[in-house]
A and B are shown apart, each in its own frame.
Chain A
């Protein structure tokens, strides 16, 4: 440094001016410095754990099952070859696959109808005031909270071909004959009865869930609105159809979504009761996928069969979610 500059001569003043001009030059703000951007970034940051969770626990397994479905992977061989759509083709060639697909759809639709009816009725009952209401509310969720293996095995006993308590009751009521007679139902042995029996257990297990979802919805409807509708002369069903249902529609849709997914992917009830039998009368896609993929070791074909649930589920989910969004709730 020179002596002049140290003493603050003309060079020093020009340098100061330059420094000042630099200081006042408008600074370009980077993208993340704007308030909106910062809020966006903060929002994404808050979303990140959920996104990561979905990617890790849903995305990766889904992609892995896609990979398995187009490979000849089996449980004993870590090296798999690409087989294109071979596994899907092999599944379509199986009569059992079509039986399983048909049964899965029947299972889903029939179970959904009964769960809606029973769930709604139970929710209305639980809305009423009566003594011991809290206890009853706690008791109704028992089927849903019991370990599935325990509850299904209990049902297996109740459906037993020889010692069925259901048949015993029907016999005592004079509705069926004695054991060994033509009218004695073999719940898990006659094709239609077996499917009904499996659906019955699924409904028994899940309708308390539907009831609780609906109950949450019903209690969120302001009583003033219902009173106003009553004053206007609406009957019970009119109030339900035109007031309650539109108001709780989002809850209904979410409950229905959950129930659809749970029912279609439910392996335990059928596996523990009938293993898909007799014949293929109760065979459903998750059980078939398990038997082929895990028990027989053909992971590729098992994954392909399991993925057949996606075309069933996806349009239903898409329509329901789109409907929900259109309503702009």
Chain B
């Protein structure tokens, strides 16, 4: 207790208490820096458990690496790590079950169906490590925040995204005097020329993720948009959208066969690998599948930049992959430490995925990127980060857009037009569906 007498301390002199505070803080700070520098997890992690739910990657070798990587991190830090792989389409149901039970995995991967905005109240705030990683690796690409930001806070760590470029058969193009599909118009000319010769082209119209992604790339490149910048209002009833639909109808009639209405996410891979396709617009898993199953076709399969729309605009709609962590996780520190370590090893992940995983961090996106930077046919993919967008463009990736995507409303608009319904009626139907979904979320 003070005796009421002022304590006289000479300016610049250090008292006993102050000395202890300053020296204590210095020791703690230096230990933390050393620990961070060495990427050593805090001691309190020892003896804990970390459960990770992830998808079955399209490149199986990546899963082998991922499991090993996670186990090694666990051994190093004394954490028992368990990794569960399930098909990505089952993840929303699993998340709903874990949320209802208030228990389950600590970390959950979301692929394309990004549920951060739906569950953000129950998710771990990752703003600190998101900012820290951004600073460390030259910032995140512009599209990175869209799926995981809610009210200025970040509720997930973007890991990688999957590009869907144009994969085209150079031999067929050259044999028919066609130019590479650098614009959608050139792609249409090629489709129209090659179909009668037994080499139709293809983009899925069916209820699959590829359809959701590919038709959005086309419409955004044509200058159409899905929502306004706030993401609160749908904007599909435009001249540009009608122009896109007119083009899509012609593309289907002239260059595709009805099988595109039945495709799943792997059908176009098989279509390319079979040697039939003139071009497809798909992830490079199709390219890799062809490499292993049909080397002669693979030799002539090339990857093109996202085709430009009539105004020269290029937008590549990609599938984001992010990791979320539950707030009820028993090991939030471990979750953050693990994710930081995973991002620190992002380049290794890119290598293991054979160039399938595209980086969200600017430094990792610098040329030459691992694998794709060394492959002359894939080098073009390094130019994509500038034009990547996600569902809802130019608005954010909201729950209402998620619902629109889950119900395949956009591919259904294209399907209606391709099947002969008028563009006005199809747009009217689509606008009705969008408005109904948006209105419901606004009320909520």
Q: Which residue of chain B lies nearest to A271 when distances are taken between CB atoms in the complex?
A: B89
Write the A76-96 contact mask toward B (1 if CB under 8 angstroms, else 0): 110000000000001001111
Q: List 12 A-B contacts (CB under 8 A).
A: A74-B444, A76-B99, A76-B119, A77-B121, A163-B270, A180-B276, A186-B262, A274-B207, A276-B408, A279-B416, A294-B96, A297-B403
Complex Cα gap A294–B93 (Å): 6
Question: Given the complex, which residues of B lie within 8 Å of A200, measured CB to CB?
Answer: none
- Partner pick for A162 among B95, B96, B276, CB 8 A cutoff: B276
Question: Given the complex, which residues of B lie within 8 Å of A93, measured CB to CB?
Answer: 436
Stretch at the interface among A113-121, A187-195, A246-254: A187-195
Given contacts A275-B206, A291-B406, 10 further A-B contacts (CB under 8 A): A75-B95, A75-B99, A160-B267, A160-B270, A189-B260, A190-B261, A277-B206, A277-B412, A280-B412, A298-B440
- Where chain B touches its partner, the secondary structure class is helix
Task: Name the 7 nearest CB pairs between A and B, nearest first.
Answer: A189-B262, A161-B259, A277-B207, A189-B261, A296-B403, A275-B207, A188-B262
Complex Cα gap A41–B207 (Å): 56
Q: A180 touching B257 by the CB < 8 A rule? A: yes
Minimum Cβ distance to chain A for residue B249 (Å): 15
In this assembly, does A143 line the interface, its C-beta being within 8 Å of a C-beta of chain B? Answer: no
Q: A188-B262, A279-B416 are in contact. Are A162 and B440 (CB under 8 A)?
A: no
Question: Given the complex, which residues of A lie within 8 Å of B267, measured CB to CB?
Answer: 160-162
Question: Given the complex, which residues of A lie within 8 Å of B122, measured CB to CB?
Answer: 76
Q: A295 touching B406 by the CB < 8 A rule? A: yes
In this assembly, does B205 line the interface, its C-beta being within 8 Å of a C-beta of chain A? Answer: yes
Q: Which of B's residues lie within 8 Å of A, judged by CB?
A: 92-93, 95-96, 99, 113, 115, 118-122, 198, 200, 205-208, 257-264, 267, 270-271, 274, 276, 399, 402-403, 406-408, 411-412, 415-416, 419, 429, 432-433, 436, 440, 443-444
The CB with the most chain B CB atoms within 10 A, among A76, A276, A280, is that of A76
In this assembly, does A278 line the interface, its C-beta being within 8 Å of a C-beta of chain B? Answer: yes
Question: Given the complex, which residues of B lie within 8 Å of A259, measured CB to CB?
Answer: none
Q: A95 touching B260 by the CB < 8 A rule? A: no
Q: B403 touching A75 by the CB < 8 A rule? A: no
Question: Given the complex, which residues of A lie within 8 Å of B271, measured CB to CB?
Answer: 162
Question: Given the complex, which residues of B lie within 8 Å of A279, measured CB to CB?
Answer: 412, 415-416, 419
Minimum Cβ distance to chain A for residue B389 (Å): 21
Question: Given the complex, which residues of B lie within 8 Å of A161, measured CB to CB?
Answer: 259, 262-263, 267
Minimum Cβ distance to chain B for residue A97 (Å): 11
Cβ < 8 Å to B, chain A residues 192-206: 194
Q: B206 touching A278 by the CB < 8 A rule? A: yes
Q: B436 touching A90 by the CB < 8 A rule? A: yes
Q: B440 touching A301 by the CB < 8 A rule? A: yes
Complex Cα gap A186–B419 (Å): 14
Complex Cα gap A26–B436 (Å): 75
Minimum Cβ distance to chain B for residue A146 (Å): 19
Q: Which of A's residues lie within 8 Å of B, judged by CB?
A: 72, 74-77, 90, 93-96, 156, 159-163, 180, 186-190, 194, 274-280, 290-292, 294-299, 301
Minimum Cβ distance to chain B for residue A284 (Å): 13
Q: A189-B258, A279-B419 are in contact. Are A75 and B207 (CB under 8 A)?
A: no
Q: B206 touching A189 by the CB < 8 A rule? A: yes
Q: B118 touching A75 by the CB < 8 A rule? A: yes
- Where chain A touches its partner, the secondary structure class is loop
Q: A294 touching B443 by the CB < 8 A rule? A: no
Complex Cα gap A150–B121 (Å): 37
Minimum Cβ distance to chain B for residue A306 (Å): 14
Question: Given the complex, which residues of B lie within 8 Å of A94, measured CB to CB?
Answer: 433, 436
Q: Which residue of chain B lies nearest to A190 when distances are taken between CB atoms in the complex?
A: B258
- Partner pick for A297 among B96, B208, B416, B419, CB 8 A cutoff: B96
Q: A162-B274, A189-B262 are in contact. Are A297 and B92 (CB under 8 A)?
A: yes
Complex Cα gap A186–B264 (Å): 13
Complex Cα gap A134–B200 (Å): 50
Complex Cα gap A279–B413 (Å): 8
Q: A295 touching B113 by the CB < 8 A rule? A: yes
Q: A296 touching B261 by the CB < 8 A rule? A: no
Minimum Cβ distance to chain A for residue B274 (Å): 6
Complex Cα gap A297–B119 (Å): 9
Question: Given the complex, which residues of B lie within 8 Å of A274, measured CB to CB?
Answer: 206-207, 262
Complex Cα gap A194–B264 (Å): 14
Complex Cα gap A298–B259 (Å): 32
Question: Given the complex, which residues of A lie within 8 Å of B433, measured CB to CB?
Answer: 94-96
Question: Given the complex, which residues of A lie within 8 Å of B260, measured CB to CB?
Answer: 189
Q: A278 touching B121 by the CB < 8 A rule? A: no
Q: A275 touching B408 by the CB < 8 A rule? A: yes
- Partner pick for B262 among A75, A194, A290, CB 8 A cutoff: A194
- Partner pick for A291 among B121, B198, B407, CB 8 A cutoff: B407
Q: Which residue of chain A lies nearest to B261 when distances are taken between CB atoms in the complex?
A: A189
Minimum Cβ distance to chain B for residue A189 (Å): 3
Q: Which residue of chain B lies nearest to A293 when distances are taken between CB atoms in the complex?
A: B96
Question: Given the complex, which residues of B lie within 8 Å of A96, measured CB to CB?
Answer: 407, 433
Minimum Cβ distance to chain B for residue A253 (Å): 34
Complex Cα gap A94–B436 (Å): 8
Minimum Cβ distance to chain A for residue B172 (Å): 15
Minimum Cβ distance to chain B for residue A75 (Å): 4
